[in-house]
Structures are given as structure tokens and as C-alpha cells.
Structure 1
Amino acid sequence: MFTLLQIVAALAALFYGGEYLVRGASALASRLGVRPLVIGLTVVALGTSAPELVVSLDAALKGASDIAVGNVVGSNIANIALILGVTALIRPVVVDPRVISVHAPLMIGASLLLVFTLRDAVLSRFEGMIALLCLAGYLSVTFVEARRAPETVREELAAATPQSTGSTASTIAFITLGLLLLGLGGRLLVDAAIELALQWNVSRAAIALTVVAVGTSLPELATSTVAALRGQGDIAVGNVVGSNIFNILGILGITATIQPPHPAGIETLDLGIMCALAILLPITLWLRRSLRRIEGALLLTAFVTYANWLLFAP
């Protein structure tokens, strides 16, 4: 019971820590004269992945490499199967194919890159640095694409960026509080995941691929759900695709550069499901131009079946 309460407390700390960090950093960048477009494509976009980064890095430093890598693989699976599944059930997601014409192939490429680098069951510092270089290239493509977008799109992005309010001291306080909550939440969640694996008699990788991954994906779930309710399917899908790319190139890139993980328990099946979803999503959107409720139900059923098999299969 205490372990479950610890997980709830950790997830709350990660959620609000990421929120405070994004608001504080966005306000500070705005005060320094950084354009809203840049803030929206960096601070805000990357801030939603802060929970995954903190948890994976903390796990790697503690020698729990299976949690560090499992968190990313599981988050990418949950982002498509769970988050887009729930989103489509709430309201069918209509997407302009051009939204995924650039980013979806990059998501597939990042997924295949992870499979290739894990062929020897280790992510080296060199491979981590290669991933970060690829991330820099992705961000460059995103900047160029955003600058070419219609003025209305850029205005929507600026409007969604937290504005600078309050004093500089309060802004710094938000950043500090966000960092403290993220650090506390990450530590609590990793410790709780290890304890939960012992209590349930399952592997730490299974806990990371399910419980931890779903918990750290809460910011993406919130963003995509709100976008779906507003009829902004492009934002919902773009949020998931962008997050999946950053999870692999950014989070595992940073983690491997600082503390190379040697993940055990991450099976070929887990990586195969992650890649299959990354490939099937753009194909479905190209053919259907949308994710309907039936497809959302299938995605959600697939995720529940996968999680149940990991946690409760004999």
C-alpha cells in the first residue's frame, strides 16, 4: 500500500514539477527576448518530456538500466497505443497528412536507430552523442518547418506559450520549485518501481514498460486530450510523434552520454511493438486521414493486452 502511495506522490511531483519548470523557463526566456516561436518549439515541447528524462537518468545512475530504457520504450508504446487510443475514443482525430509527412519518418528512423544501438545490449556514450546530434538535426528541421508555416499557425503556437507574468524572483522560484519537484518525483518513482517489482514478483523492466511509462506520459496525455476536445487533431498527433522522437534521441542520448545503460529485460518483442506502432500510425493516417473511434478502441485494447501480459502472465 505504501509503495502505491509513493508512486502516486512521485507522479504528482513529476507532473507539477514539469509544469512549473515549463512556465518558469518560458517566462524567463520571454524576459530575455526569446521569440515565442522558439520558446514553443524548445522549452514547452521538451518540457513535457522532463519526467521521462529525470526518471531515466536517475535510474541509470542507480544502476537500474532496465528502468532507464524501459521507461522510454514503454512511454513510446503508451504515447501511441494508450494516449492516441484514448484521444480517438474521446473524439475522432482528423489529421492533415502533411503534419506527419516529415516527422513520422523521423520517428520511425529514431525507433530503428534504438533497435540497432541495443543490438549489443548497451547504449554507449558514443551512441548517446550520435543520438544528441540527430536531435539537433531534428530541431533544426522543426524550426525551418515552423518558420515556413502560415502566420495563423505561428500565432496559435505563440498563444499557447506561457506568458511572462510576475517578477523575475517569482519566475526563478517557479524554475527552482519545478527542478526540486522533478528531482524528488524521479527519485521516489525509481525507488517505488524497484520495490513494486519485488512485491509483484515481476521484472523491473515490466514495471518500467507499464507503470513507470504511463506515469511519465501524463503530460502528453493531458496535452493530447485537451487538443482532441478542441478538435485540434494535428496538435494531438504532433505532440505524440514529437515526444517519441525526443524520448529516444534526447532522453536516452543524454542518459547514455552521462551514464551508459546496460538494459536487461528489454525484450525484442518490446522493441518490435514500439517499431510496429511507429510504422502503423502514419500508414493509418495516410490511408484514413484520421483515427476513428474503432481504431482508438483497437489501440487501447492492444495496450491493455500488452500491459496485462507483462505484469500478470505466468
Structure 2
Amino acid sequence: MDSQSLYKKYEEILLNYLENRNERALYKAQQFGRKMIEQNISPEEVVSMHVKVLSRTMPNLDKETLDAFDFLLEVMVDYGLAYREHQSLRNKQRQLDSEIEVAANLQQSLLKGDVPDCEFADIGVISQPAKKMSGDYYHFVNDNHNCISVAIADIVGKGIPAAMCMSMIKYTMDSLPEQRMQPGSMLENLNRVVEQNVDPNMFVTMFYGLYDPRVQEFFYSSAGHEPGFFYSAKEDQFTELEAKGLVLGLTRSTKYNEYVKKVHSGDMIVLLTDGVTECRTEKGFIEREEVVSLIRDNMEKPAQEIVDHVFYELEKLQDFDLRDDFTLIVIKF
């Protein structure tokens, strides 16, 4: 529709409304408004048409009314520019949200870890992202010797870059099966990959351990990751799984020490990310002892029920609004 036809149509609709002042006339105006949006007619152009129609059909309009329309026209010029910019930003945001949704679904598909079913341990896992994209990662492998290796990692950084980094780490781990018996060597290999391929402003913490049922020992190393907990049934006591080591990606030649824990029936290993221990409430951050207390209160339950309960209680303390990615693993022997 050209500008002349548009003007005549608007004049017809406006005069029809002024003559009848009914709902049908208003409905026609609304329908015409949609057509103008489809043709990218700006708000100031609509006001300009309105003034021209009134000036032609009501030539005796007083000067104050015409000046008021001129004022409205000036206002609508800036309003129209701002409105179009707002609409453009909204469209870009919708497109970005759609792309993030696709990336989040892809991340979940790629990084979803299967929890092994084994006779000597009961394993519970919960991993919840604070936003659509998670910076946490966990991974289990049950090898041919019936050993179970477990990795838990946290990327300092969020969004799509963090998800891409996690995917790279996962496939690096999958390509190094011969190293699974050596947690220190696994971290050293991963460290070289991260140092070469990840932005210097993004680094990764990781805890990697392996339980060997043949000797009933848990071997582990850490790359600057949040310390886990070890529960000794004999002593009825929780202690920290302390392990020193630089975060992945700082220097290529980093070496990682390997530690070992003797495991007995009734013992328990707890691994987590800092989204668990740095739970922020109105009173500030919770203490690590509070996490241990929640676990202790539910120790008789299956491992999955323990992690689910801890997550619920800590999420409730945050008014069900996670501030950080949350990953908790409990292994009961």
C-alpha cells in the first residue's frame, strides 16, 4: 500500500469513528494499526497522518490544538526511534535465548554422565545449573578391572565458552583410557590440553579419583578443587579429602601428587563443587560443617536420597534461587 492509499484509508477510518463512535469503528482502527506495523509505519508517521487528516477535514481547528499536535509529533519522533531500537534488541535477545537453549540442550546431551551400578558401592549424584548453561561437570568410568573412576570439575566462567571447555575436557578424558589408573597422570594430561586450548582468563578446577575394589583403596588427585569429605565408619568421623594441586591451565609443566585412602565397609566419600559449600543465604555463606551435618542426618538413606535431600535443604535456604551451579556426589561403601 503506497503512502497516498494509506492516507486515504486512515482518513476513512478516522472519519467513520468520529461519525459513529462505536466498537466496530474502533475494531477497524485496530486492524488497520496492525497493517501499519506490518508495513513498518513509524509512530511519528501515524501522528503526521492524523494531523493532516484533521487539518483537511477540520480547517477551523484552533492554533493551540495544532501546536499540541506539533508537540506530540516531536515527542513521537524520538519515541519511534527508541521503540524501533527496543524492538531490535528484543529480537536479538530472542534469537540469543534460542541459541542458548539449543546449546544448553546439546551440553546436557554431550555431558550427561551415567552413574555406574556396582555391587560394592551405592552412588548418588545431583548436578543442577544455576542458569541454562552449567560450569560444573562430573564423569564416571567403570573399567574392565571393576575399578570406578570419578571426576568432578568446575569451570571459573559461565555460558557457552564454559560449556565448550567442558566438552573438550570430556573428550580428552575419553581419549586417555590408559591413564585412568593414575589420577595424577590424568590431571597432568588434562592440564596440558587446557593450557593449550583454553583462554587464559578461564581456568578449571578438578578432583579425580579411582576406587580399586581389589585392594579397597581410593586413589585421588586434585587440581585446586573444593575439598571433598571422607567418612570413616569405624571412627564415626568426617574428615576433608585434602589434596594440593594447581588449577588446570595455569602452567603446562604442572605435576599433581597422588593420595590414597583405605576404604572399609560403611565408609563414605563425598565430592562436591563450591556451589554446595558457598551456598549464600540472607545471613551470609553457610559453613562446610552445615553440609556435613545435613549428610550425617541422612546417612542411613540410600546415596541418591542423601544428595536429593541436601540439595533441597540448601536450595530452600536460598529461597529456591540457586546462585551457583550445584553438584554433589555421595559414594557409600
With the shorter chain as reference, the TM-score category is under 0.3
Higher relative contact order (CA 8 A, sep 6+): 1
* TM-score normalised over the length of structure 1: 0.23
Larger helix fraction of residues:
1
Larger strand fraction of residues:
2
* TM-score normalised over the length of structure 2: 0.22
Greater C-alpha Rg = 2
